[in-house]
């Protein structure tokens, strides 16, 4: 029986618009009546994190019935939290990652052979519980993953040097973590240095909405030193405490799915990919699709370079056997059929090309009315950049008062200064419109905005901004000539 997008939407319980949007973002225009072929169904499974029942071989005819949308509650078991460290340059991200790893490797399995694979696991000594750290410090990787729909972080560690305080990239990290709705733990680093003032950092961060428990908030603050290995145990305990509250679980019994962290071509071994298993269990000889690539797994290694035969949820591993090199952020999914895997990989490769050819118009002021009508928009994300703090505050204040038919304006960043590449990255990830008030982007930034499909609007009069946004929400925007 032919399957339309509308049927599929019903089966998986996701809005039609999300499915249409997925194809659109990959350069294919389909409406809700479009009939899906089996590789498109496979792609959607990959995108939305479903998998297929293990028992039967997939065929064109049975792929729909084989889709497994929901996990059986009794199959869910606890999994390790996945943590990303973010903060300003030189505040100690790398040192913290290294210290945490080294203090663990000493009594670890391989006796110190470690490789950088994009993530690693640490076993907390007191509790014997594991924590997975994403080993690509910085928020670029974090937002890049997120803008591609791969949420690979449960908890963000915001690291702030006690002798330096909040700096621009600290602010950006806060914006990103808040946007992603991920709990934050603050690690105030370098408290061993003369002139360090950790209490001041605590007060400073209140201005950014990160309020410590003792001030009535719920943000854990840990004072320590990545270099002297002070506070690491407390940090781990706090991570595990939050993980308990989050009640992180996954179904380890099904086919593995997850995300590619890094990949490269090795002259001797061929394509090598570091991946994070997010659900299911990966086994030797499994056939998987990873973005536009596929293959049967020939070898699995852990972060210590040891060969292993399987990997469950939250495990970062290196795999060998793909037919070519996938991209960081590509999702992967094991399926028990090589032909199917190949056809899905090929379809994904074609789409990637199509998407590269097409200028992405993912989210513009013109399109807002459509998004509202389709019921997928309850608030419009806006980034405000202005020439003075006064203008920033005035704009922010006016924007937050806008309410058109229940649609609100949500200011996700408001700061003084020119429109920068990092504003574009945040806008792309958060589907935001950027407003420049008496400031402009450079040509370089403008190009990135075009590439990422980000709408930049420039104004010099506040009420014009308000008028424009209200008009957009009402679908009465004057056409741009």
Q: Which stretch binds ligand GDP (CB under 6 A): 51-59, 187-195, 394-402, 429-437?
A: 187-195
Phi-psi region of 400 (alpha: psi -120 to 50; beta: other; left: phi over 0): alpha
Residue from the set 9, 17, 66, 95 that interacts with ligand GDP by CB under 6 A: 95
Q: Hunting for tokens 């991209």 — which residue is that?
A: 327
Note whether 190 binds ligand GDP by CB under 6 A.
yes
Residue from the set 89, 113, 241, 246 that interacts with ligand GDP by CB under 6 A: 89
- Burial readout 164-197 (b: 16 or more C-beta within 10 A, e: otherwise): bbbbebbbbbbbbbbbbebbbbbbbbbbeeeebb
Is the CB of 100 or the CB of 275 nearer to ligand GDP?
A: 100
Residues making up the chain, counted from first to last: 481
Is the CB of 165 or the CB of 312 nearer to ligand GDP?
A: 165
| Smallest separation, CB 194 to ligand GDP (Å) | 9
Note whether 254 binds ligand GDP by CB under 6 A.
no
Query: Quick one: tokens of 288?
Result: 């998987």
Q: Known binder of ligand: residue 138?
A: yes
| Smallest separation, CB 445 to ligand GDP (Å) | 24
| Smallest separation, CB 158 to ligand GDP (Å) | 11
| Smallest separation, CB 117 to ligand GDP (Å) | 18
Q: For residue 334, give the H/E element and its range.
A: strand 331-334
Q: Hunting for tokens 């621009």 — which residue is that?
A: 168
Query: Quick one: tokens of 297?
Result: 């797994």
CA distance 312 to 317: 10
- Contact between 201 and 165 under an 8 Å Cβ cutoff? The reply is yes
Is the CB of 185 or the CB of 384 nearer to ligand GDP?
A: 185
Is the CB of 76 or the CB of 230 nearer to ligand GDP?
A: 230
Q: Known binder of ligand: residue 460?
A: no
Site string for ligand GDP, 115-144 (x = CB under 6 A): ----------------------x-------
| Smallest separation, CB 272 to ligand GDP (Å) | 25
CA distance 159 to 168: 13
- Contact between 320 and 137 under an 8 Å Cβ cutoff? The reply is no
| Smallest separation, CB 96 to ligand GDP (Å) | 7
Site string for ligand GDP, 210-249 (x = CB under 6 A): ---------------xxxx---------------------
CA distances from 373 to 101, 209, 227, 474 (A): 49, 32, 53, 10
Residue from the set 90, 213, 376, 451 that interacts with ligand GDP by CB under 6 A: 90
| Smallest separation, CB 177 to ligand GDP (Å) | 16
Q: Hunting for tokens 């403008």 — which residue is that?
A: 446
Query: Which own/partner contact pairs does 59-64 have at CB distance under 8 Å and 24+ positions apart?
Result: 63/38, 63/340, 64/3, 64/11
| Smallest separation, CB 444 to ligand GDP (Å) | 24
The number of residues that bind ligand GDP (CB under 6 A) is 17
Is the CB of 11 or the CB of 229 nearer to ligand GDP?
A: 229
Q: Known binder of ligand: residue 445?
A: no
- Contact between 334 and 255 under an 8 Å Cβ cutoff? The reply is yes
In the three-class reduction of DSSP (H, G, I as helix; E, B as strand; rest coil), residue 14 is classed as coil
Residue from the set 93, 129, 254, 371 that interacts with ligand GDP by CB under 6 A: 93
- CA-angle at 428, arms to 447 and 346, nearest 5°: 90
Of residues 320, 249, 325, the one with CA closest to residue 282:
320
- Contact between 441 and 203 under an 8 Å Cβ cutoff? The reply is no
CA distances from 443 to 185, 353, 440 (A): 37, 25, 9
Is the CB of 36 or the CB of 156 nearer to ligand GDP?
A: 156
Residues in contact with ligand GDP by CB under 6 A are 87, 89-95, 137, 189-190, 192-193, 225-228
Binding-site residues for GTP? 87-94, 135-139, 189-192
Binding-site residues? 87-94, 135-139, 189-192
């Amino acid at each position: 029986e032919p399957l339309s997008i509308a049927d599929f939407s019903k089966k998986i319980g996701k809005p039609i618009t999300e499915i249409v949007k997925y194809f659109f973002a990959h350069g294919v225009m389909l409406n809700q009546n479009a009939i899906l072929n089996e590789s498109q169904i496979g792609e959607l499974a990959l995108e939305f994190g479903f998998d297929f029942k293990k028992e039967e071989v997939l065929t064109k005819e049975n792929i729909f019935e084989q889709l497994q949308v929901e996990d059986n509650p009794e199959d869910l078991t606890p999994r390790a939290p996945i943590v990303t460290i973010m903060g300003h340059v030189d505040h100690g991200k790398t040192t913290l990652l290294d210290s945490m790893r080294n203090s663990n490797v000493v009594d670890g399995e391989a006796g110190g052979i470690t490789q950088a694979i994009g993530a690693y696991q640490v076993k907390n000594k007191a509790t014997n519980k594991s924590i997975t750290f994403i080993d690509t410090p910085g928020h670029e990787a974090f937002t890049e993953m997120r803008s591609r729909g791969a949420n690979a972080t449960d908890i963000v560690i915001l690291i702030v040097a006690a002798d330096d305080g909040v700096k621009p990239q600290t602010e950006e990290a806060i914006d990103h973590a808040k946007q992603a709705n991920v709990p934050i733990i603050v690690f105030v680093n370098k408290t061993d240095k003369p002139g360090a003032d950790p209490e001041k950092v605590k007060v400073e961060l209140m201005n950014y909405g990160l309020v410590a428990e003792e001030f009535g908030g719920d943000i854990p603050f840990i004072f320590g030193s990545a270099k002297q290995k002070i506070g690491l145990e407390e940090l781990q305990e706090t991570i595990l405490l939050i993980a308990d509250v989050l009640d992180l679980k996954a179904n380890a019994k099904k086919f593995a799915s997850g995300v590619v962290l890094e990949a490269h071509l090795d002259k001797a071994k061929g394509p090598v990919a570091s991946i994070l298993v997010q659900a299911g269990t990966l086994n030797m000889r499994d056939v998987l699709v990873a973005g536009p690539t596929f293959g049967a797994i020939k070898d699995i290694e852990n972060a210590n370079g040891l060969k292993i035969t399987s990997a469950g949820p939250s495990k970062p591993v290196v795999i060998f056997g793909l037919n070519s090199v996938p991209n960081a952020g590509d999702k992967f999914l094991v399926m028990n059929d090589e032909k199917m895997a190949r056809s899905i990989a090929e379809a994904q490769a074609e789409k990637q090309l199509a998407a590269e050819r097409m200028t992405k118009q993912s989210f513009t002021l013109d399109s807002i009315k459509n998004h509202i009508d389709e019921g997928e928009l309850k608030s419009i994300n806006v980034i405000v950049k202005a020439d003075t703090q006064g203008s920033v505050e005035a704009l922010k204040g006016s924007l937050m008062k806008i309410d058109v038919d229940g649609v609100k304006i949500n200011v996700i960043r408001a700061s003084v200064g020119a429109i920068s590449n990092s504003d574009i990255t945040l806008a792309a990830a958060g589907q935001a419109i950027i407003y420049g008030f008496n400031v402009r982007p450079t040509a370089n930034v403008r190009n990135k905005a075009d590439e990422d499909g980000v709408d930049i609007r420039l104004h010099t009069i506040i009420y014009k901004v308000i008028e424009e946004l209200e008009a957009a929400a009402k679908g009465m925007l004057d056409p741009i000539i």
